[in-house]
Amino acid sequence: MTQEDILKNPEKYDLSIETVGKGTLKSPMKGIQFVSEEDRIGLTTDVKRIREFFDKGVTAPSLEAAGPRETIFHDPAWTRAGIVTCGGLCPGLNNVIKGLVQVLWFDYGVRNIFGIPYGYRGLNPQYGYPPITLNPDVVDSIQEDGGTILGSSRGIQEPSVMVDTLMRLNINVLFCIGGDGTLRGAHAIAEEVKKRRQPISIIGIPKTIDNDLNLIDKTFGFETAVLSATDVITSAHNEANGAFNGLGLVKLMGRDSGFIAAYAALATTVVNFCLVPEVPFTLEGLFKALESRYASGKTHAVIAVAEGAGQELFKDQKERRDASGNILKNDIGEFLTEKIKEHFDKVGKEINIKYFDPSYMVRSIPAKGTDAIFCFQLAESAVHAGMAGKTDMVVGSMNGEFTHVPIEYAVNERKKINPNGTLWHAVLGATRQQDYFSGKGKGSK
Amino acid sequence: MTQEDILKNPEKYDLSIETVGKGTLKSPMKGIQFVSEEDRIGLTTDVKRIREFFDKGVTAPSLEAAGPRETIFHDPAWTRAGIVTCGGLCPGLNNVIKGLVQVLWFDYGVRNIFGIPYGYRGLNPQYGYPPITLNPDVVDSIQEDGGTILGSSRGIQEPSVMVDTLMRLNINVLFCIGGDGTLRGAHAIAEEVKKRRQPISIIGIPKTIDNDLNLIDKTFGFETAVLSATDVITSAHNEANGAFNGLGLVKLMGRDSGFIAAYAALATTVVNFCLVPEVPFTLEGLFKALESRYASGKTHAVIAVAEGAGQELFKDQKERRDASGNILKNDIGEFLTEKIKEHFDKVGKEINIKYFDPSYMVRSIPAKGTDAIFCFQLAESAVHAGMAGKTDMVVGSMNGEFTHVPIEYAVNERKKINPNGTLWHAVLGATRQQDYFSGKGKGSK
Amino acid sequence: MTQEDILKNPEKYDLSIETVGKGTLKSPMKGIQFVSEEDRIGLTTDVKRIREFFDKGVTAPSLEAAGPRETIFHDPAWTRAGIVTCGGLCPGLNNVIKGLVQVLWFDYGVRNIFGIPYGYRGLNPQYGYPPITLNPDVVDSIQEDGGTILGSSRGIQEPSVMVDTLMRLNINVLFCIGGDGTLRGAHAIAEEVKKRRQPISIIGIPKTIDNDLNLIDKTFGFETAVLSATDVITSAHNEANGAFNGLGLVKLMGRDSGFIAAYAALATTVVNFCLVPEVPFTLEGLFKALESRYASGKTHAVIAVAEGAGQELFKDQKERRDASGNILKNDIGEFLTEKIKEHFDKVGKEINIKYFDPSYMVRSIPAKGTDAIFCFQLAESAVHAGMAGKTDMVVGSMNGEFTHVPIEYAVNERKKINPNGTLWHAVLGATRQQDYFSGKGKGSK
Amino acid sequence: MTQEDILKNPEKYDLSIETVGKGTLKSPMKGIQFVSEEDRIGLTTDVKRIREFFDKGVTAPSLEAAGPRETIFHDPAWTRAGIVTCGGLCPGLNNVIKGLVQVLWFDYGVRNIFGIPYGYRGLNPQYGYPPITLNPDVVDSIQEDGGTILGSSRGIQEPSVMVDTLMRLNINVLFCIGGDGTLRGAHAIAEEVKKRRQPISIIGIPKTIDNDLNLIDKTFGFETAVLSATDVITSAHNEANGAFNGLGLVKLMGRDSGFIAAYAALATTVVNFCLVPEVPFTLEGLFKALESRYASGKTHAVIAVAEGAGQELFKDQKERRDASGNILKNDIGEFLTEKIKEHFDKVGKEINIKYFDPSYMVRSIPAKGTDAIFCFQLAESAVHAGMAGKTDMVVGSMNGEFTHVPIEYAVNERKKINPNGTLWHAVLGATRQQDYFSGKGKGSK
């Protein structure tokens, strides 16, 4: 189910947000415009499409607008908030944590805020990690460092065990920062909470450096990751230029979608071939395209490949094992490096490949500039939602506005690059790779 | 007239875009989703508000969607495009130039592209600057440098002189990159062209590092400027911490609006007082706030002041003249530095002020990361509009979509920070400056 | 008295280092090569010159080598060390502090280390600033931030008061990090200590971002300052290119010597005129040189001026006063900006000046790369000297080796750029400014 | 043969420099202090050691001082200079090329300068790469990019073929920028030239990012490589902190010596284990050390390993082959990653390893700050040497002065970290790794 699916069959989807109870307390916030429960952000900004809905007597599908509510559910004086970070690192985790603490503390007067250490494990007493007390002093300068001060772990724990812990700690608002798996875990916690009829709000803050969440335009950390990837690509470009028929091959994050590779190609404009999971290619096609480029008089090339690209190429691939007999996983970067070398050896043409795998380097740095602000705004939205008693939801950004999205819809399907859309067209324009794949070989410098 | 004005009285405003003629040629672009003339981006994403329009039988106010058209007006084979950059530097100028050249050349096959040197002066033969021939090779790596390869100048030239030049050079699509004044100049050129019934498209690409254009969410270069401003603020923070009762005072760009100061405050979270044109303050209030902060045990403070802030303070100010008798202009940064020093001297309290004026340093750097991409996308939209025969318009970004905006509406009024809106609330949250202005003195670290 | 003076009349100068007592304790350091008191670093590396001394029966003048001694004076178990940072900020202050703490703690086992807050003021009880307890945990990540965690102040306090404090706190090794004034203060403290026959070692660590100390090749922070200055010059270059006859004028630190300006000119190679205190120039000469450059077809120019350059130009200058009647100090950057504008107005030629004053921005950043290592090594040398009972000295670097220098010689005279030496020749080569000053106008791009 | 060997048996080594003929032409340089052939830089700065030589009636061993000579051999008007870059990239290659061109052109008036493309291959007509004409305009902004504008290749070509080419091109001064192999090649060319009695000067500019040349304190690019490595280590530190018992493992350049790893450890001070080729370790020792660290309550660790470290561990290692049967080379980074994982699995303790291989990213960036200046100064020295008719030598830096070194001595043996010296002691101090290797487990944060 994608955004487009909902726009086509809006009646099938319920985008309303659950609550743990009715907000009856007056918000302590002053001098601020409150958001009403009727404020909703349309899934499309296209007035023509919206008109069609109204013409059919249907309301255009929309998401609840994020923001402070005039009446809230959780009493700040009694609120005990928990924050947990799960999965791989992403720029901005510490900014989100700091934002949550600041808004809870200063805007709502919440004084009991706990950091759950090492992801969902911190909610499983078997690990024995004690919660970390958080306040504005503790988080004062954490945004200067990459990573997460709470630590993280992968995987989820048994929901009933986690809810036991929440109840023992008397936590009534839990903020879960993490990716797909984490959010599914948050949904499971919310379900368990509902079963026990507890007034505990579960609010997700989606983290995916690949920027591939459904119904969400932009996720935190992505902007910084692109910035960081551009430096690697510049290095690859320099290396490629430094040898006759040089080839700089850069593997970037992106298991299911190629957004980082595509954006980095656009931001640098020195990439000649951008390979993403959404657009299949054959080895022969790539070999020909490279030969076509070198034949056209260009003596270098740069390839940016998303880690999830070309997975179909491994089908005929013999299982690779290391000396100990362990199966080696299919790494598209190393695979292409090896295959391209083999091919050029075979046809007796020179090529000088330099392979770059920046891996964790693009994700363990601090969030920068406007990305840092975006983290703060997400945290603000999350706290407002939590204090209002919302639950089983994530905060997101859609058409430039902050929204509430039911967890199940956010994680239901991955957003992907549309090969017929404007983003991919821009990438084709910046790389001119079609000229080489088609053998015309004019291409870009 | 602001965006809100239009939403309140949509019947008063005509947001349609003029053309120099009907598009009858088939676009040479292939494998791309074309945008229809009926595609329009609503001024609001709030479904409730949109419904109200429909209920009244009115179409919700909207802007033409940018993007490639299936039929175009200008024949690429005969097209001679001109590009001119005017006014002060801004990160991303070279990216926009490169984007225009690439899209014209590769997507439309336009082979005659001219750079007009040194702003509108380059269209006045009296200066004798010869046009610069542009092609993909010339612009290949210009995005690595700040500034503009075309050079720039301030002010406009006589429209009739400029149109004479356009006609002599046979230019039929002119791209004008610049701020308010430039765009008013572009409008004047478009008017003159209309008077002469010439098929010359005039397309503006709005440049304002202050991000303060009407009907436009985001302008290019702003993201990079914020990133750059954060480094200065970090320096000021270090200096402030380095002396007893240290004060780091940073002046940032923003003549009429305080967006850069506000965003930089949010991005760094080390600013204690953010002063912007939209929120007046008194010297006495500021003195008290500073005293209140130091009295609370904090031994440092950081002020970020937009250059246009506090202009009302100069009313009672004696004219300042230098040794040669020249009037010194009112520089809020130097003024505050002097006044705060005087005040603390008078009351016998210690303060150690370090004043930072990064001036041009935040604007003459290259665009980075996603900002660079945004430049490219704006350039794409501009070329599509120009080739389609649109005129007297600028390309913009609204609710995450690219749009066409009539020039007169874009420059009609400046966008400002809403002191009751979420941005300013976030700034107050990050700085806690109200605690000091109100004398409560708890404030942030 | 310069290094050259000593080489010419070695008999006049006593470069030996004083001690507070004979080292009789065995050093706790293991597995390290100790330095003997006979190890001395020659003031010259030129073997021909050294031979001449020996031929005359004189020992070539030399400095004591820094490094760990096999026997030390201060008993680590009883040692109470103090660290004080004075004067303006400089990259690397926190690195030096961290290095001192680490070496004292881990190499010698000293457990009582105190940070003196806000410079020499912290040794004057009248200010009431309590000392800060330092240990490896406290200083663990301070090197990531610019500035000094101890704070700083200018000026010195009464030596007898400061020695009273040292005695009351039982401090027996004091590390004074600061510039000329600070080191003179350290000398005064050492004198007072000597008068009272106290076993207190006073060790200076010279701080001058201008790298202009006598008998010392290199001071910490300089490398980072040059790195930082290059960014500003790149911005100025972009601005200069952005306007017809553009001029980017950058003022850099350097009151008495122009090392930062000269190095930044060399590091960027885009500076066209480098103006330093050591090489006088006239306004008329500069005007002609600029005219000559523009006349040669170049449409931009970049000037890097050290703040102490051209002070002789102010002699005939009328006193400048602001509106309140205060004397404005002579700022060479603003002065040149104004005068160049006036001149070009008078002769009716166009010029577009952009003035850059990065001021504190080059000094309040953290030390980077090898500069950070240099800080650590200086700290190491300082601790070894202090524990060995040396006093009234600074640690320095000479011909690539760390040395001990009597304070009075280090601060006796400023090192300056030799206008006939290789550094200045390289600057002339990189800028080609002589071509313009001589009116030949070929110059660099 | 190391520097120390020469100091011990100076009579065995001849450090004098060969020439292709006697300098009889007056240098065109003006206003500069010329260097005399008698100026020599001592191999030691230790006055005590120098005295011992003189006492024995021996001259202390020394190197010829670099710098401009008053009389030169090659007539600038007839000089045709060649520049070739060989081997892997290194920051600063373009700075050196630019410096050579500027000094040849402006200081000597040489107008025929050729870039030899793609290393020594460019001197072999079989490849057919045409030489590139160089002048100040061509090299004007090349220093902004990493890599080399000339391209590079590995390996040398037949000396007689290369000398044929030099003679055909009438090149009489050849500058060879490269590492060990390149310099041996340059030596072979010089030998061939000598055999043919041609007046062709062969001047080497040593390039080794590992900074491991004999008789040379510092090589260009090293400073920038260290700066770049610090960013990777910071990322690894963030990743290590982000997981329970996290381990960030970074592989850095350094085949035979661990200078980059050691300097990066010192510059960041967050490395807990620095592993270099000069200091052997066992896997068991490393496992114990890691266990000891985690057992001490620290939940993270950072390892910086030089690529040449631990090669002795592979002796018992079964040959590793990939799917195609190719032998996989021994990568210490991947090897340690695998072995540590296996060990912790076996003993049932948790560890979360993140492996970083920045590879080319530390070497393909432009030289920064003072490193850029150093490149220029090396280039200056090289041109002065070449024009003076020197040959079969490299330019170097020793005790802070620029020198001439016979090629054969520079490449004779690699400089290594002295495990008993101050550098390694500082690394042990910064990492505290001995505490863990010895099982005491106090260590650093």
Residue C415 lies in a domain: no
End-to-end CA separation in angstroms for chain D = 40
Which is catalytic among the residues A107, A210, A212, A256? A210
Residue D433 near residue D296, CB atoms below 8 Å: no
3-class secondary-structure state, position D188: helix
Residue D263 near residue D230, CB atoms below 8 Å: no
Torsion, Cα D358 D359 D361 D367, to 10 degrees, reads 120
**CATH number, domain with residue C143:** 3.40.50.450
Helix and strand element counts for chain A (H, E): 14, 17
Residues D187 and D319 in one domain: no
Q: Side chain identity at C160, as an amino acid letter?
A: S
Residues of A whose CB is below 8 A from D328: 322
Q: Which residues of B touch C (CB under 8 A)?
A: 89, 118, 121, 129, 145-149, 151-153, 231-232, 234-236, 238-239, 241-244, 246, 299, 317-324, 328, 338, 354-361, 364-365
Torsion, Cα A287 A288 A291 A293, to 10 degrees, reads -110
Residue D48 is predicted with a pLDDT of 86
Using CA atoms, how far residue A395 sits from A27, A206, A216, A368, in Å, is 20, 7, 9, 21
Instruction: For residue A317, give the chain D residue with the closest CA.
Output: D323
pLDDT for D54-77, tens place per residue? 888 888 899 999 999 999 999 999
Residue C314 lies in a domain: yes
Using CA atoms, how far residue B81 sits from B23, B155, B395, in Å, is 17, 22, 17
Residue B288 lies in a domain: yes
Residue C125: band (very low, low, confident or very high) from pLDDT cuts 50, 70, 90: very high
B358 to chain C, minimum CA–CA distance in Å? 6
Residue B421 confidence (pLDDT) above 50: yes
* Interchain pair D269, C98: CB under 8 A: yes
Residue with tokens 């929204």: A403
Interface mutation vs chain C, best among B241, B251, B268, most C CBs within 10 Å: B241
In 3D space, the residue among A439, A442, A432, A89 whose CA is nearest the CA of residue A265 turns out to be A432
Residue A74 near residue A201, CB atoms below 8 Å: yes
* Interchain pair B45, A47: CB under 8 A: no
Residues of B whose CB is below 8 A from D144: 144-145
Q: Is the dihedral of CA A281, A284, A286, A292 positive or negative?
A: negative
The edge-to-edge listing of strands for the beta sheet with A201-206 is A40-42, A62-65, A401-406, A393-398, A201-206, A173-178, A80-85, A112-116, A132-134
pLDDT for D338-376, tens place per residue? 999 999 999 999 999 999 999 899 999 999 999 999 999
Name, in order, each residue with C-beta under 8 angstroms of A100's C-beta and a sequence gap of 6 or more: A81, A83, A113, A175, A379, A382, A383
Q: Which chains touch C (3 or more CB pairs under 8 A)?
A: A, B, D
- Strands (E) across C161-277 are located at 173-178, 201-206, 246-252, 273-275
Residues of A whose CB is below 8 A from B60: 47, 50
In 3D space, the residue among B336, B328, B196 whose CA is nearest the CA of residue B252 turns out to be B336
Number of domains present in the structure of chain D: 2
Residue C445 lies in a domain: no
Residues of B whose CB is below 8 A from A373: 226, 263, 266-267, 426
Residues C195 and C343 in one domain: no
Residues D240 and D376 in one domain: no
Beta strand pairing status for B80-85 and B112-116? parallel
Which helix (H) or strand (E) segment holds residue C190: the answer is helix C180-195
Residues B383 and B296 in one domain: no
End-to-end CA separation in angstroms for chain A = 40
Q: How far apart are CA B210 and CA A177, in angstroms?
A: 33
* Interchain pair D54, C59: CB under 8 A: no
Residues D149 and D287 in one domain: no
In 3D space, the residue among D228, D267, D256 whose CA is nearest the CA of residue D360 turns out to be D228
Residue D80: band (very low, low, confident or very high) from pLDDT cuts 50, 70, 90: very high
For C274-362, where are the alpha helices, taking DSSP H only?
283-295, 332-346
Residue C429: band (very low, low, confident or very high) from pLDDT cuts 50, 70, 90: confident
Which is catalytic among the residues C107, C180, C210, C256? C210
A371 included as an active-site residue = no
A145 to chain C, minimum CA–CA distance in Å? 10
Beta bridge partner(s), residue C71: C26
Residues B35 and B119 in one domain: yes
Q: Is B330 exposed, middle or buried (0-12, 13-18, 19+ CB in 10 A)?
A: middle
Q: Is the dihedral of CA D98, D104, D107, D112 positive or negative?
A: negative
Residues of C whose CB is below 8 A from B231: 361
Beta bridge partner(s), residue A305: A251, A275
Residues C185 and C241 in one domain: no
Q: How far apart are CA B48 and CA B40, in angstroms?
A: 18
* Interchain pair D322, A299: CB under 8 A: no
Using CA atoms, how far residue A402 sits from A69, A411, B330, D366, in Å, is 14, 17, 39, 41
Residues of A whose CB is below 8 A from C145: 144
Residues A173 and A284 in one domain: no
* Interchain pair C360, B318: CB under 8 A: no
Instruction: For residue A372, give the chain B residue with the closest CA.
Output: B267
Residue D204 near residue D394, CB atoms below 8 Å: yes
Out of C230, C377, C432, the one facing D426 most closely (by C-beta) is C377
Residue D131 near residue D116, CB atoms below 8 Å: yes
Residues of A whose CB is below 8 A from B137: 445
* Interchain pair C356, B354: CB under 8 A: no
Q: Side chain identity at A47, as an amino acid letter?
A: V
Residue B443 lies in a domain: no
Q: Which two tokens stand for residue C287?
A: 């005007």
Q: How far apart are CA B366 and CA B145, in angstroms?
A: 5
Using CA atoms, how far residue B222 sits from A227, B91, B362, B375, D366, in Å, is 15, 8, 10, 11, 27
Q: Which two tokens stand for residue B87?
A: 């006014």
Query: What does the pLDDT average to over D406-416?
Result: 90
Residue D220 is predicted with a pLDDT of 96
Beta strand pairing status for B62-65 and B71-72? unpaired
Q: Which residues of D touch B (CB under 8 A)?
A: 144-145
Residue B445: band (very low, low, confident or very high) from pLDDT cuts 50, 70, 90: very low
In 3D space, the residue among B65, B75, B67 whose CA is nearest the CA of residue B28 turns out to be B75
Residue B324 confidence (pLDDT) above 60: no
Residue A445 lies in a domain: no
Written as one string, the DSSP assignment of B99-152 is HHHHIIIIIH---EEEEESTGGGGG-GGG-PPPEEE-TTTTTTGGGSSS-TT-B
Interface mutation vs chain B, best among A30, A39, A44, A47, most B CBs within 10 Å: A47
Q: How far apart are CA C33 and CA A188, in angstroms?
A: 63
Instruction: For residue B145, give the chain D residue with the closest CA.
Output: D144
Residue C83 lies in a domain: yes
Residue C304 near residue C274, CB atoms below 8 Å: yes
Residues of C whose CB is below 8 A from B323: 317-321, 328
Residue D444 lies in a domain: no
Q: What average pLDDT does the structure give for chain A?
A: 92
Interface pTM (ipTM) of the complex? Answer: 0.90
Instruction: For residue B141, give the chain D residue with the closest CA.
Output: D145
Q: Which residue would you say has higher pLDDT here, D109 or D55?
A: D109
Instruction: For residue D41, give the chain C residue with the closest CA.
Output: C46
Q: Which residues of C touch B (CB under 8 A)?
A: 89, 118, 121, 129, 145-149, 151-153, 231-232, 234-236, 238-239, 241-244, 246, 299, 317-324, 328, 338, 354-361, 364-365
Q: Which residues of D214-223 are buried (b: 16+ CB within 10 A; e: fewer)?
A: bbbbbbbbbb
C-D CB pairs within 8 A amount to: 173
* Interchain pair D41, C40: CB under 8 A: no
Residues D179 and D242 in one domain: no
445 residues of chain A, pLDDT tens digit each: 788 899 999 889 999 999 999 999 999 998 788 999 999 999 999 888 888 898 888 888 999 999 999 999 999 999 999 999 999 999 999 999 999 999 999 999 999 999 999 999 999 999 999 999 999 999 988 999 999 999 999 999 999 999 999 999 999 999 999 998 999 999 999 999 999 999 999 999 999 988 888 899 999 999 999 999 999 999 999 999 999 999 999 999 998 999 999 999 999 989 999 999 999 999 999 999 999 999 998 999 999 999 999 988 987 666 655 545 555 557 899 999 999 999 999 999 999 999 999 989 999 999 999 999 999 999 999 999 999 999 999 999 999 899 999 999 998 888 999 998 889 999 998 899 998 998 765 544 4
A138 to chain C, minimum CA–CA distance in Å? 15
Using CA atoms, how far residue B363 sits from A208, B102, B366, C236, in Å, is 31, 24, 8, 10
Q: How far apart are CA B219 and CA B205, in angstroms?
A: 9
Which helix (H) or strand (E) segment holds residue B275: the answer is strand B273-275
Residues D389 and D242 in one domain: no
* Interchain pair C445, D42: CB under 8 A: no
Q: Side chain identity at A35, as an amino acid letter?
A: V
Q: Is A141 exposed, middle or buried (0-12, 13-18, 19+ CB in 10 A)?
A: middle
A-C CB pairs within 8 A amount to: 3
Main-chain phi, psi angles of B167, to 5 degrees: -70, -40
Residue C384: band (very low, low, confident or very high) from pLDDT cuts 50, 70, 90: very high
Q: How far apart are CA B251 and CA D370, in angstroms?
A: 30
Q: Which residue would you say has higher pLDDT here, A230 or B59?
A: A230
3-class secondary-structure state, position B345: helix
3-class secondary-structure state, position D321: strand
C144 to chain A, minimum CA–CA distance in Å? 9
Instruction: For residue D227, give the chain C residue with the closest CA.
Output: C369
Residue B444: band (very low, low, confident or very high) from pLDDT cuts 50, 70, 90: very low
Q: Which residue would you say has higher pLDDT here, B414 or B216?
A: B216
**CATH number, domain with residue B338:** 3.40.50.460
Out of A31, A51, A380, the one facing B54 most closely (by C-beta) is A51
* Domain of residue A271, residue span: 223-362+420-437
Q: Which residues of D are catalytic?
A: 210
Instruction: For residue C141, give the chain A residue with the closest CA.
Output: A145
pLDDT for D156-198, tens place per residue? 999 999 999 999 999 999 999 999 899 999 999 999 999 999 9
Name, in order, each residue with C-beta under 8 angstroms of A340's C-beta and a sequence gap of 6 or more: A247, A249, A286, A287, A290, A351, A353
Residue B131 near residue B81, CB atoms below 8 Å: no
* Interchain pair A151, D243: CB under 8 A: yes
* Interchain pair D321, A318: CB under 8 A: no
D158 to chain C, minimum CA–CA distance in Å? 37
Which is catalytic among the residues B107, B180, B210, B435? B210
What number of residues does chain C have?
Answer: 445
Name, in order, each residue with C-beta under 8 angstroms of A341's C-beta and a sequence gap of 6 or more: A351, A353
Using CA atoms, how far residue B233 sits from A150, B261, C141, C146, in Å, is 27, 10, 20, 12
Residues of A whose CB is below 8 A from B269: 98, 143, 376
Residues of D whose CB is below 8 A from A338: 322, 324
Q: Which two tokens stand for residue A273?
A: 């071939």
Q: How far apart are CA C271 and CA C433, in angstroms?
A: 9
Q: Which two tokens stand for residue C305?
A: 């001026």
Residue C445: band (very low, low, confident or very high) from pLDDT cuts 50, 70, 90: very low
Residue D265: count of CB within 10 angstroms of its CB: 32
Residues B231 and B330 in one domain: yes
DSSP code at position D414: B
Residue C444 confidence (pLDDT) above 80: no
Residues C173 and C264 in one domain: no
Using CA atoms, how far residue A5 sits from A43, A45, A177, A214, A400, in Å, is 11, 16, 27, 11, 21
Out of C234, C299, C365, the one facing B235 most closely (by C-beta) is C365
Residue with tokens 């080696």: A328
3-class secondary-structure state, position C325: coil
D63 to chain C, minimum CA–CA distance in Å? 9
Instruction: For residue B354, give the chain C residue with the closest CA.
Output: C360
